[in-house]
Amino acid sequence: MAMATSSSFGASLSRVSTWKPTFSARLASQKSTLRLFPISSEMHLSSGPVVSASPPQKKVLVPIGFGNEEIEVVVLVDILRRAGADVLVASVEEKLQVEFSRRVKMVADTHISSCDEEKFDLIALPGGMPGSARLQECQLLKKMTIEQAEQQKLVGAISTSPAFPLLEWGVLEARMATCHPGFTDKLSPTFMTKAKVQTDGCVTTSRGPGTVFDFALSFVEQLYGEEKRNEVLKPLVLPSRNQQETLKSEFNPLNWKAAAVPQVLVPVATGSEEMEAIIIIDVLRRANMKVVVASVEEDLQIEASRKVRIVADKRIEDVKDSCFDIIVLPGGMPGAEKLHNCKTLKKILQRQVKEQRPIGAICAAPAVILEANGWLKGKKATCHPTFAEKLSKRRLVKSRVVLDGYTITSQGPGTAMEFALCIVDKFFGKERARNIANGLVFEYP
């Protein structure tokens, strides 16, 4: 039944032949056309609906509940908003503020009860446990998602959500699907694939935090077309199709020492890049590092660069006398400038440099904060390509992650996973980093 085809990127994709899976009798009577969205060499697709080429704006629902996976939520929201979609984040809990699986707290835009009469071009369910179970328990979301699929409008689910809400609600009936490797036993072997992203008809599924960029970009293409996908893709600094970039370059290697539980500070501000901040926090907490998220604003709640509302653990003033094994600075603008202008954070960073403890910075932060304060003097570093001119040519290295002594820098949202795993590697070793990467469904060499 499966056959191979050569994509425009030269990668081999498998797809299901012209046989059409059905969701209900109504679906069986509707015609579908084959579409391929070749995001990666491991993305598999089958028959799918024709999507309008140039709509003015698409409306997307991302429901969230206690215990959802924060990386999956934030990457979906950020990338679809970059594409111009009107993304509504709706809580299935009583309150708008929701705590995710790695204790990141986010404030939803609205409650799911206010979405009953809304029409969406896409409903995308993040995974994580017990988050997927919380989504499954929401009867209104069940009703909306089933109706969405019956109308042949786009539905997506990632990680544990294909195996829980979609499977239990009957949305995956006779559809090829994928999910997190830890939950594949719940899917029918006949219809289960190991693809990073699997599209069958109007339903797209994916595997986990490490595949969420491909997952989100597949929706950009399905909603807006390939040109828009390429436009959104470029500034993310994801690996190229042939993955020829150097992952990591290390200069003046030193051993990073810490207490049994390394103490980490991640400062955030209005305009910080939410994907970078959340990926760093999530991955380091998976490594059992004690991560404190500190707001440099007056309030604990900050609005990140793509309007995601994150609630910090503390204000920066509350940690000014604390000692940290590493301080990690997310990028994003004007977030990086706000971090740079925070006098309290500057004093904390000055003490960190003086006492020769590690500092990390990603995206705009190496140029806007570290270079501007002279903390990269005599060191090699990298940053987002749009800020490269702010670094000395003798200093700039184009690797995705650059280490020099007690400094680690990286390029952008698409390198944040490698960046965070390199930090885990430095403190705990490669085996721990690889174990965490496996849980993320991400390859760490």
Catalytic residue among 115, 342, 363, 422: 363
Residue 162 neighbours by CB distance under 10 Å: 32
How does pLDDT run across 19-63, given as a tens digit for each residue? 333 334 333 333 333 333 334 434 444 444 444 445 578 999 999
How does pLDDT run across 127-143, given as a tens digit for each residue? 999 999 999 999 999 99
For residues 212 and 256, membership in a common domain is answered with no
Distance CA 423, CA 421 (A): 5
How does pLDDT run across 75-88, given as a tens digit for each residue? 999 999 999 999 99
- Active site (annotated) includes residue 276: yes
Mean pLDDT of 162-175: 97
For residues 206 and 152, membership in a common domain is answered with yes
Radius of gyration (Cα) for the chain, nearest Å?
Answer: 22
For residues 253 and 193, membership in a common domain is answered with no
- Chain centre to alpha carbon of residue 315: 25
Domain boundary, last residue among 214, 236, 258: 236
Structure tokens at 316: 């920066």
What CATH number does the domain containing 10 carry?
Answer: 3.40.50.880
Burial letters 341-377, b for 16+ CB under 10 A, else e: ebebbeebbeebbeeebbbbbbbbbbbbbbbeeebbe
- Active site (annotated) includes residue 363: yes
Domain boundary, last residue among 193, 216, 236: 236
Distance CA 117, CA 98 (A): 23
Full domain range(s) for residue 21? 2-236
For residue 156, being part of any structural domain is answered with: yes
Provide the number of structural domains found in the chain. Answer: 2
Model pTM score: 0.89
For residues 207 and 308, membership in a common domain is answered with no
Please count the residues of the chain. Answer: 445
Q: Are 384 and 411 in contact (CB under 8 A)?
A: yes
How does pLDDT run across 199-235, given as a tens digit for each residue? 999 999 999 999 999 999 999 999 999 999 999 999 9
For residue 195, being part of any structural domain is answered with: yes
Domain boundary, last residue among 197, 214, 236: 236
For residues 265 and 324, membership in a common domain is answered with yes
Catalytic residue among 274, 276, 371, 418: 276
For residue 47, being part of any structural domain is answered with: yes
Mean pLDDT of 107-136: 97
- Active site (annotated) includes residue 202: no
Cis peptide before 130 (omega within 30 of 0): yes
How does pLDDT run across 307-358, given as a tens digit for each residue? 999 999 999 999 999 999 999 999 999 999 999 999 999 999 999 999 999 9
Residue 271, Ramachandran bin (φ over 0: left; ψ between -120 and 50: alpha; else beta): left
Average of per-residue pLDDT values in the chain: 89
For residues 301 and 184, membership in a common domain is answered with no
